[in-house]
Structure 1
Amino acid sequence: MEKQYKCHKISGGKVSGELLFSKDGMCFYLIEPKNGKIIEKEHCLYGQSIAGKILVFPYGKGSSVVQADGMYQLKMTGMNPAGMIVVNADTTLAASAIILDAPMVNKMEENFYKDLHDGDMVELDAENGILRKL
């Protein structure tokens, strides 16, 4: 039986990818656009690439310009995450995702955080508010 979880659409789209969980907030400006690697030294994912991943993180960090520009630079080089699952979506983060057509959701079912882990393959249907484990 296929496992699926309900969520809330912030920015629409349907993507598949590998989950990557972060316990730290994300500042997209501190991600190297050439390879998608996090260059923020104190970050729990320092040195890891978010490119093509379904990124799960608690909140965004930085001003609107920093967040939007960081996301834009990643999208232009193709090193952006495939989709994003955020716990606390502030206006800046949500607006940036909408403007850049980056699938983003929040309000995941609690079991999602217990059942799934780094590397699990999922399909995120942000448009319909559903995440399926593949």
Structure 2
Amino acid sequence: MIIKCRKISRGVAEGQVLLTQEAISFLGNVDPKTGIIVEQKHELFGQCIKDRVLVFPHGKGSTVGSYVLYQLIKNNVSPAAMINVESEPIVAVGAIISCIPLVDRMEQDPFKVLKNGDIARVDGTSGLVEIPEGSEL
């Protein structure tokens, strides 16, 4: 299945989907040294975002979150790619300066077509998300 979406940050990456319906604040929710979600009240608490296709509605919090995304890439613990329902400037800037593919506004609701464990390919250059048939691990 190939789904069109809006391009935010260029690049192409593939990985296992990690999905949350909760917003993410990269400053405070994510440990920039390990890529682990450290906010105890967050749905993804204790999970690592490294090399995952991180799917979340939007970012929240401080503009410093953009630089936390950059720290994640420098520490080799960043997501492979990200999909938002609606990106906002903090996540968009962080993805762009970190060269992490990012798309939003998928033509289909990502929470209805993706599930944890699926393999997804995010093309932030063309504005496409591909979910291969039988992609779940």
Fold agreement, TM-score > 0.5: yes
Residue 27 in 1 paired to residue 25 in 2? yes
Cα-Cα RMSD: 1.3
Which one is further off, 84-93 or 11-20? 84-93
**Does the CA contact (< 8 Å) of 2:18 and 2:49 recur in 1?**
yes
1:104 alignment partner in structure 2: 102
Aligned length: 131
Matched residues in 1 for 2:100 and 2:129: separation?
15
TM-aligned CA deviation for residue 92 of structure 1: 2.3
TM-score, scaled relative to structure 1: 0.91
Gapped regions of structure 1 (runs ≥ 5): none
Residue 115 in 1 paired to residue 113 in 2? yes
**Does the CA contact (< 8 Å) of 1:7 and 1:108 recur in 2?**
yes
Percent sequence identity is 38
Matched residues in 2 for 1:44 and 1:111: separation?
19
**Does the CA contact (< 8 Å) of 2:30 and 2:39 recur in 1?**
yes
Secondary structure of residue in 1 paired with 2:71: helix
TM-aligned CA deviation for residue 54 of structure 1: 0.4
Q: Which amino acid aligns with 2:37?
A: I
Matched residues in 1 for 2:36 and 2:91: separation?
19
TM-aligned CA deviation for residue 130 of structure 1: 1.0
1:10 alignment partner in structure 2: 8
Residues 1:80 and 1:105: Cα distance change in structure 2 (over 3 Å): same
1:54 alignment partner in structure 2: 53
Spell out structure 1 runs of 4+ moving beyond 6 A: none
2:124 alignment partner in structure 1: 126
